[in-house]
Every structure is written in structure tokens, then in C-alpha cells.
A = this chain, B = another copy of it.
Amino acid sequence: MTGPRLGEAEIVERLVQIGWKGSRAVRLGPGDDAAFLRGGVVISTDLAVEGVHFRLDWIDAEGAGFRAAAAALSDIAAMGAKPEVLLVSLAVPPSSPELAESVQRGVASAADRVEVAIVGGDLSRTPGPVVVDVVAVGRAHAVVTRSGARPGHAVWVTGALGGAAAAVAAWSDGRSPHPAARGRFASPPNRVPVALELARKGLARSMIDISDGLVVDTGRVAKASCALLALRRELVPVHPGAEGDLKLALQGGEDYELMFTAPPGAEARIVAIGEEVQVPLTRIGSVREGEGVVVEDASGARMEVGCGGFDHFADGPAE
């Protein structure tokens, strides 16, 4: 290798440069959780590679399929769109064709949760690890992007964070994960209904799937919105599986929760939606003039968060 090692973000930026050009068919191109096409079509694709995104000694093939589908559906949810169909591309070793069926069953089970059909896909053998690429297609009249955060907005998060990362950390250290953490990794939550409700009522003005980690993904909203997103550390909901480890909640990723920003005065309505769909919604900070993301305590003292986060390219959970 010559030159510094490229991270996922840099490579993705180069790939976008190579492939993207304006098109009448496209209302919103690369750079958000999903693309938005004319006719209200929202589309995203999510690649999971054995040994990088999952290991079959951590979860079974069905769990791997479920997670891959949950990841793709989370991208559609983050746009405030209603998922309608999935396509599934699978590569499995020729010695274990039954793996394809197990993965597909997991995908179908996540799809059933949101009443989505699998309408196609592709299948190949592979001399390497199992690969699952799930394409999710949804619809929306208008989408919620990463660029809608405005000073005065409140920053909210769905569910609780750090559980999935705690499981990965345990497995990677050769430990058995906390049962709550394992469950969190194996069965990511379904945030489609809450996201749709928040979008329909105009309460989520910016939104993002925080599966790369709260701080990293909040930073993406900050950048796209040209705003400063200030998170209050003691407000961040830490998943029981993370056993109080705030760092996992801030930087862990892989939870498939959503971060969104809402206009002032929306708090009561947001809380009501959370109660209605039975998803905890927590206000964790505010949007200010400025740029970037900071994590503060109640006194306003800033915590050093670094630029860590989940980079599928440089440092996945498994070798």
C-alpha cells in the first residue's frame, strides 16, 4: 500500500463521484439513507458479509438474513417512507446450499414484520464467505432527509443504544454476551411504524439510521444540515445489554435505531406517538448554530468523542 489507508467514507465518496450524475428520474441522489426517485420511489441496498457484518458462530444463518433485512428496512424508515418490497441477492458456498434457504427465511421474517414481500433477487455459489445483499424499495410523497436539522430543533432518538455493540465486543473478546445484548444483535427492532408516523405528522424534520454509531451518524446530519447538534450525555438511553457503557451507546452502532430532529413545541406529540406505537422516544439534545456534533454534560462541559464509529471497511466486528 502506498499512501494512507482509506476509510469507508472516503471510498464511498469516490464511488459516488464515479457513478453519480444528475438525472430527471432522480429527486434525491446519493448521500442520504436511500435514494428518492420520481414517482415517490425510495430505494436502498444493504450488503452483509460473513466475517465482517456477522459470524455464523455468533448468530445462525436465519439471524444473519433477519439482520440484513432489518438494515435495509431501517434505511427506508429513516427516509420516512413505507417499505413495500425487498429483493435478496445471496452468495453461499456450494457445499451448503441449504444456507440460502435459512438466510432467506430470516429475510422473510423481517419482511413479514412490516408486511413486505420479497419480489426477486439473485443466487450464486461462492468460494468465499456468505454474502447477503438486501434491496429495499419503499414509497413516500416526500422524504425526510439528513439536511433538515435547524437551530432550535430538538434531537431525538428511538429506543436504546449500545446493546448490539456490546454483543459484538463480547464475542470479539471471546466472552459470552449479556443475553439482552445478544438479543439486541440477533433481533434488531422494527422502527418503520414510528418513523412513518413521525414523518406523516411532520414532526421528524431530519432523520437518519444510526447504525454506524450515534455520534458518527449525528455528524452526518450536522454536516448535511450545516448545523451543530449538541447531545446531552446523561440523556442518551443506554440499552440494558450495554450495562451502562455510554461509549458503546455513543459510538457502537449496529442497533438500527433512528435519530431525528423535531421543531420546538413538538415534544408532547412525539411522546404521544411513542406511547401509541410503543417505542421509547427520547430527547437527547438540541440543534444550534454552528457545525458538527458535540456531547456535553448538564454543565455544558464537552466530552471528547473522537471520530470513532463503525467503519465496515476499516474495522468491522470480525476478522
- Our pick among B15, B118, B128 for the contact of A104 (Cβ within 8 Å) is B15
Is residue A200 contacting chain B, with contact meaning CB distance below 8 A?
Answer: no
Residues in chain B near residue A131, CB distance under 8 A? 47, 49, 91, 126, 128, 131, 133
Asked whether, in the complex, the Cβ of B122 is within 8 Å of the Cβ of A46, the reply is: yes
Number of copies: 2
- Our pick among B45, B90, B91 for the contact of A120 (Cβ within 8 Å) is B45
- Nearest-neighbour CB distance to chain B for A121, whole angstroms, equals 6
Q: Which residue of B lies closest to A31 (CB)?
A: B120
Q: Which of A4-45 contact B (CB under 8 A)?
A: 5-6, 8, 11-12, 14-16, 18-23, 25-26, 29-30, 34-35, 37, 39-41, 43-45
Is residue A143 contacting chain B, with contact meaning CB distance below 8 A?
Answer: no
- Interface residue total, chain A, C-beta cutoff 8 A: 77
In the bound complex, how far is the Cα of B127 from the Cα of A128, in angstroms?
8
Which positions in A face B, CB cutoff 8 Å? Answer: 1, 5-6, 8, 11-12, 14-16, 18-23, 25-26, 29-30, 34-35, 37, 39-41, 43-49, 51-53, 84-91, 94-95, 97, 100-101, 104-105, 107-108, 111, 116-129, 131, 133, 135, 137, 139, 312-314, 316, 319
- Our pick among B15, B117, B128 for the contact of A121 (Cβ within 8 Å) is B15
29 sample A-B contacts, Cβ–Cβ < 8 Å, listed by A number: A1-B95, A11-B97, A15-B100, A18-B104, A18-B108, A18-B118, A19-B88, A19-B111, A19-B121, A21-B117, A23-B85, A26-B85, A30-B118, A41-B137, A43-B119, A45-B89, A49-B124, A49-B128, A49-B131, A51-B128, A52-B124, A52-B127, A97-B313, A123-B312, A124-B313, A127-B129, A128-B128, A128-B129, A131-B131
